């Protein structure tokens, strides 16, 4: 009887030890969210799906994370740096924008793509976002929000990837970034709703989406009230 009890005790110890080993074989770290970081970029940086990261951290809305939040990253062994827009890159972009503000006009811009808003316009947790991020499948056609003239089409700004800037009447300009491919060239006239690019994940984009801005006189405006 004593031998049986001793055997059962040994078996229990072995099972507990093996469970402990399995727990240790699944490492993870905590990542503190910094201004400008999104769940999509964090997930891509660590090679974890957004769905899994949301489930582990009990996040119902992937677009609703804030600077200072601590996220558990399963499988990670060290904290990594998540890419965000660099201020000097944004400054270069702004130098490419038309500055003159002509006579007052009222424009109704069309949505360049349809999709969920990933990042909102404005200052959030100390990070300034000059536009909105619109999720869409890679290769989705991007349409110009209003008729105008292409004043930039290229990939000189690494953070923004393939980038297009269109000048419109009334001192307005629109910005389309992270495109998979640009389909227009500088100086080209485009109509409202014309396909000018395809959604991609170039630059610092870690998931397919369009970074879209509306500017007037070079100053960023919240795109949402202008979009119809």
Query: Going residue by residue through the chain (228 aa), what tens digit of pLDDT does each one get?
Result: 544 544 444 444 444 444 443 344 468 999 998 877 778 778 878 888 888 999 999 988 876 788 789 999 999 999 988 877 666 667 777 777 776 655 666 778 999 999 988 888 876 555 678 899 999 999 999 999 999 999 999 998 888 999 999 999 888 999 999 999 999 999 999 999 999 999 999 988 878 999 999 998 888 899 999 998
> What's residue 82's pLDDT?
81
Q: Are residues 124 and 150 in the same domain?
A: yes
Residue 77 is assigned to a structural domain of this protein: yes
Q: Are residues 145 and 48 in the same domain?
A: no
Residue 10 is assigned to a structural domain of this protein: no
What distance in Å separates the CA atoms of residue 206 and residue 20, rounded to the nearest whole number? 35
Q: Are residues 48 and 96 in the same domain?
A: no
Which residues have CB under 8 Å from 72's CB, separation 6+? Answer: 28, 29, 30, 56, 57
Residue 2 is assigned to a structural domain of this protein: no
Is residue 109 a contact partner of residue 174, using CB atoms and an 8 Å limit? Answer: yes
Q: Are residues 208 and 170 in the same domain?
A: yes
Q: Are residues 208 and 119 in the same domain?
A: yes
State the DSSP string of 56-80.
HTT-S-TT---TT-EEEEET--S--
Q: Are residues 104 and 171 in the same domain?
A: yes
Q: Are residues 119 and 71 in the same domain?
A: no
Length of the chain, in residues: 228
Helix (H) or strand (E) run with residue 142 in it: strand 141-143
Range of the domain at 161: 87-226
Residue 35 is assigned to a structural domain of this protein: yes
Q: Are residues 74 and 31 in the same domain?
A: yes
Q: Are residues 47 and 107 in the same domain?
A: no
> What's residue 21's pLDDT?
39
Nearest CA to 176 out of 134, 122, 115 is that of 134
Is residue 193 a contact partner of residue 176, using CB atoms and an 8 Å limit? Answer: no
What distance in Å separates the CA atoms of residue 104 and residue 97, rounded to the nearest whole number? 18
* DSSP code at position 209: E
Q: Are residues 93 and 47 in the same domain?
A: no
Residue 15 is assigned to a structural domain of this protein: no
Is residue 105 a contact partner of residue 167, using CB atoms and an 8 Å limit? Answer: no
Residue 121 is assigned to a structural domain of this protein: yes
Q: Domain containing 30 — which CATH number?
A: 3.10.350.10
Domain boundary among 52, 84, 116: 84
Q: Domain containing 133 — which CATH number?
A: 2.70.70.10
> What's residue 104's pLDDT?
60
Q: Are residues 56 and 153 in the same domain?
A: no
Q: Are residues 45 and 104 in the same domain?
A: no
- The count of structural domains within the chain is 2
Which residues have CB under 8 Å from 178's CB, separation 6+? Answer: 160, 161, 162, 199, 200, 201, 202, 203, 204, 205, 209, 210, 211
């Amino acid at each position: 009887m004593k031998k049986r009890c001793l055997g059962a005790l040994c078996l229990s110890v072995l099972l507990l030890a093996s469970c402990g080993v399995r727990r240790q074989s699944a490492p993870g770290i905590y990542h503190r969210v910094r201004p400008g970081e999104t769940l999509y970029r964090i997930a891509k940086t660590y090679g974890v799906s957004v769905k899994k990261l949301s489930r582990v951290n009990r996040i119902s809305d992937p677009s609703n994370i804030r600077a200072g939040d601590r996220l558990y990253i399963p499988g990670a062994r060290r904290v990594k740096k998540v890419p965000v827009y660099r201020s000097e890159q944004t400054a270069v972009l702004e130098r490419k924008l038309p500055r003159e503000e002509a006579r007052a006009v009222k424009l109704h811009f069309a949505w360049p793509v349809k999709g969920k808003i990933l990042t909102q316009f404005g200052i959030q947790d100390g990070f300034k976002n000059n536009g909105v991020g619109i999720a869409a499948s890679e290769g989705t056609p991007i349409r110009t929000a209003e008729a105008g003239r292409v004043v930039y089409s290229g990939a000189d700004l690494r953070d923004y990837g393939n980038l297009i800037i269109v000048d419109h009447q009334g001192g307005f300009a629109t910005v389309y970034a992270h495109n998979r491919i640009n389909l227009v060239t500088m100086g080209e006239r485009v109509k409202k709703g014309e396909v000018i690019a395809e959604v991609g994940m170039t630059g610092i984009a870690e998931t397919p989406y369009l970074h879209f801005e509306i500017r007037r006189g070079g100053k960023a405006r919240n795109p949402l009230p202008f979009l119809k």
